[in-house]
Amino acid sequence: MANVFDNVLEQIDKISELMKLNDKEIKILSNPKKILEFDVNVKMDNGSKKEFKGYRVQYNNARGPTKGGIRFHPNVSLGEVKSLAFWMALKCAVVNIPYGGAKGGVIVNPKELSQKELERLSRGFVRNVSDHIGPMKDIPAPDVYTNAQIMSWMLDEFEKIKGKHAPGVITGKPIELGGSLARSYSTSMGGAYVLREIVKIREQEPADIKVAIQGFGNAGMNMAKILDNWGYKIVGVSDSKGGIYNKEGLDIAQVINIKSSKKTVTAYDAKKVSNDELLELDVDVLVPAALENQITKQNADNINAEIVLELANGPTTPDADKILFEKGVVVVPDILANAGGVTVSYFEWVQNLYGYYWKEAEVLEKLEEIMVNSFKEVYATQEKYNSNMRNAAYIKAIERILAAEKLRGNI
């Protein structure tokens, strides 16, 4: 697989031309502040020891402590983690919350580990980074194949090492340990608020809009649930084992039940489609909610959706972006579309620092305001530069990051 960080550098080059950035500015954007590489030693249930490669990249901290998830996945690489950390820096800047960007990962298939092995891996990860993370330094969160339980183990390990309570070191925690209400579905909710604004501009009705969602993990499943409740027609969904399609619409509550009991959506009674075929369905809105590099120059011409809402990180390559723009497809970029998650993580952190917690309605009201305002700012920037929405979001975010670097005297 091509190094996904090459795509980031290509994106930086493109934006540098539009914004007429100088060499110093480009250098700051192209290089992470800190890269941690380490081996996590885990005692396996059979008594043997196994090493797992771990990474934590802190990309830019000019606007505040760095922030970003930790993923456990067999395809984790340093290039991927650097890319995700860069996108996190932009994501926080585009919704104007006071964070920089970071990301972490471990090369592991968590499905092959027992619960106890997973716990030992999680605690081992924290032991390797404990001097480099903290509520005012770097704040991890869940990502692919990590969850609230894993965050609980990580929090506990950090607090044991430091000898004090520090709930603000990690977000995406269970409510009982200082998590925020609405955090579990905030990524999807933020994306739904943005989609609603676009639909308003286009003067469309939800009932007339057909949606396909690639990826039926936390983000994809919650997006299906929210849009279904709002009256959109969900006609196709998929997970790692394949997809299903019904042009009349799927019974989302039933799909969720089947996914929960059978561990795959493909057990639902509907036409079977592959993940590749799902991307090319005849729909109004396509939501890539799986992994990066799903829409490429090979399949971009075959995308039939009018709107692509990127709930996953980096699902569209730069080559594909160009093709979609020329076709008139509206691509809502990941750094805006999926920023609801980090926004509510920010709320969680604020509540931890306060020691005072908000009601769910209050969290959603604050999230809606930030997502709607951010969309409007990006939309206005797009009009100003006569560009696509991704470039506009990058420009808005980079303006804020470079303004902070200039104020600090780094440029």
CA distance 157 to 154: 5
Strand positions, DSSP E, 122-208? 138-142
Distinct helix (H) and strand (E) counts, the chain: 14, 12
Rounded CA separation 130/248 (Å): 51
CA distance 346 to 65: 11
**pLDDT tens string for the chain (411 positions)?**
457 798 889 889 989 999 999 999 999 999 999 999 999 999 999 999 999 999 999 999 999 999 999 999 999 999 999 999 999 999 999 999 999 999 999 999 999 999 999 999 999 999 999 999 999 999 999 988 999 999 999 999 999 999 999 999 999 999 999 999 999 899 999 999 999 999 999 999 999 999 999 999 989 999 999 999 999 999 999 999 999 999 999 999 999 999 999 999 999 989 999 999 999 999 999 999 998 889 999 999 999 999 999 999 889 988 899 999 999 999 999 999 999 999 999 999 999 999 999 999 999 999 999 999 999 999 999 999 888 999 999 999 999 999 999 999 999
Cα 338 from Cα 204, distance rounded (Å): 22
Residue 170, token pair as written in the block? 């990690």
For residue 292, the model assigns a pLDDT of: 81
Per the listing, tokens 């305002």 go with 373
Task: Give the CA radius of gyration of the chain.
Answer: 20
CB 78 within 8 A of CB 55: yes
Class of domain 185-332: alpha beta
- CA gap 201, 284 in Å, rounded: 15
Question: Which burial class, exposed, middle or buried, applies to 206 when counting CB atoms under 10 A from its CB (0-12, 13-18, 19+)?
Answer: middle
d(CA 172, CA 246): 34
3-state secondary structure of 107: strand
- Note whether 13 and 34 are within 8 A (CB): no
- In 3D space, the residue among 35, 129, 125 whose CA is nearest the CA of residue 78 turns out to be 35
Instruction: Name the DSSP class of 335.
Output: H
**Residue 301 DSSP symbol:** G
Is 34-167 in CATH node 3.40.50.10860?
yes
| 7 touches 317 (CB < 8 A) | yes
Residue 211: CB atoms within 10 A of its CB come to: 27
Strands 49-60 and 330-332: unpaired
- CA distances to 59, 130, 133, 156, 351 from 52, in Å: 23, 17, 20, 21, 34
User: In terms of Cα–Cα distance, which of 160, 104, 158 is closest to 134?
Assistant: 158
Between vectors from CA 189 to CA 187 and to CA 194, what angle results, nearest 5°?
100
Residue ranges matching CATH 3.40.50.10860 in the chain: 34-167
- In the chain, CATH 3.40.50.720 covers 185-332
Beta-strand ranges (E) seen in 44-198 are 49-60, 66-73, 100-107, 138-142
User: Which residues lie below 8 Å from residue 87, measured CB to CB, with a gap of 6+?
Assistant: 8, 101, 313, 314, 334, 335
Catalytic residues: 103
Per-residue b or e along 21-54, where b marks 16 or more CB atoms closer than 10 Å to that residue's CB: beeebbebbeebbeebebebebeeeeeeebebeb
Residues comprising the chain, all counted: 411
Q: Please write down the HEC assignment for all residues of 383-398.
A: HHHCCCHHHHHHHHHH
C-alpha atoms less than 13 angstroms from C-alpha of 148 in its C-beta half-sphere: 17
Confidence at residue 2, expressed as pLDDT on a 0 to 100 scale: 52
Distance CA 345, CA 147 (A): 13
Q: Provide the pLDDT for residue 385.
A: 87
Looking at residue 4, what is its pLDDT? Answer: 78
